[in-house]
Amino acid sequence: SIECNGGQSCYGLTIDAPNDNELFNFDCTYGTHGCFATTINCPSNADCNIDCSSMYGCHSITVNCPSNTKFQCNAICDGYESCQNAKFHGKGLISECIGPRSCVAALLPIPPSNETLTLNCSQWDSCAATNIRCPSNANCEISCYGSYACLDTNITWSSTNGTYNTSVTCSSKSACSGF
């Protein structure tokens, strides 16, 4: 585990998982801009969990998810602009973009093909202009509850998703405008 829990404590660093075969937990939950513009290289052969709960915590972060497709990165973005402009490369899941502007203009990870994607965008602008990719062989459920939560969001539906439920729920002022 690595914790970056102070203001700008890991700002602009490149952090490599210490062991390529062990679970890696990255915690950026306290301190403004704690992990701003940080690059995280997850282990190749283990899962990688990323918690971005602080204000601007993982803004402009780059996450290189595990290269072995049996493993994935998982992230929670629930602080103000916590994962804005974040880039997740590889397979993984983000289940919560629940802070205001938490995932604006982010590139979310590619979900595992057989695992349901349930994404909650529950604050204003939380997933605005975000690139969301649905799984190819599972349900894709996106909830846009905050004002402008999914404004101009780009959702990539799988071309093989014919027998699975794909749904977007829009329940606030202009929650889904522009997509």
Its pTM surpasses 0.85:
yes
Half-sphere exposure of 113 (CA within 13 A, CB side): 8
Report pLDDT for 5. 83
Q: Which two tokens stand for residue 33?
A: 């801009």
What lies within 8 Å, CB to CB, of 99 at 6+ separation is: 53, 77, 78, 79, 80, 81, 82, 123, 126
Report pLDDT for 162. 60
Question: What is the chain's length?
Answer: 179
User: Based on the number of CB atoms within 10 Å of its own CB, is 20 exposed (0-12), middle (13-18) or buried (19 or more)?
Assistant: middle
Select from 14, 7, 3 the least CA-distant residue to 50. Answer: 3
Report pLDDT for 52. 92
pLDDT by 10s per residue, the chain, length 179: 899 988 889 999 999 999 999 999 999 988 889 899 999 999 999 999 999 988 999 999 999 999 998 999 999 999 999 999 999 999 988 878 999 999 999 999 988 888 889 999 999 999 999 999 888 888 899 999 989 999 999 998 876 646 677 889 998 879 999 87
Report pLDDT for 160. 61
Report pLDDT for 104. 96
